[in-house]
Amino acid sequence: MRVWAIDIGLVDDINESARSVFPDEFLCMLSAEDGVIVDMVLLPGTVYGDSHSFLNQWMAPAGINTIGTAHSHPGYDNRPSDDDLSLFSNMGGIHIITCQPYDRGSWRAYLSNGEEADLEIIY
């Protein structure tokens, strides 16, 4: 499935979740319908931390088709860290990073090779 767009309501949800766990990082997986990213898939037992400690717990619930990840950075930089890039390349898919101030302009989407992904926004 080619992912080409994201629902703006989901962007808001991700940012709201990021705000609620700040200064820790929020992390979830993403699912899509008809190529549009529409849902967060929360991982049971996820521990939000201020580093990328989640790398070992990368397990999607059975039966849910995930197409990538979203996570938050506690600072003002939404570029992927080296750890992020190695995670992305291992997983494939689309990966969203949001940063402060956690608004509709503070996130970016990346491909598994670390290049920026061009996603349309569905309002």
Question: What does the binding site for Zn ion look like in residue numbers (CB under 5 A)?
Answer: 81, 84
Nearest approach, Cβ of residue 45 and Zn ion (Å): 19
Nearest Cα to 71, choosing from 57, 59, 89, 84?
84
Structure tokens at 59: 């397990």
Nearest approach, Cβ of residue 71 and Zn ion (Å): 5
Give the Å distances, CA to CA, from 90 to 61, 76, 106, 115.
18, 25, 25, 15
Nearer to Zn ion, 4 or 86 (CB): 86
Strand partners, 72: 98
Please state whether beta strands 36-41 and 5-7 pair in parallel, antiparallel, or not at all (unpaired).
Answer: parallel
Please state whether beta strands 27-33 and 5-7 pair in parallel, antiparallel, or not at all (unpaired).
Answer: unpaired
Nearer to Zn ion, 20 or 65 (CB): 20
Nearest approach, Cβ of residue 85 and Zn ion (Å): 9
Nearest approach, Cβ of residue 33 and Zn ion (Å): 26
Residue nearest to Zn ion (CB): 84
Nearer to Zn ion, 84 or 109 (CB): 84
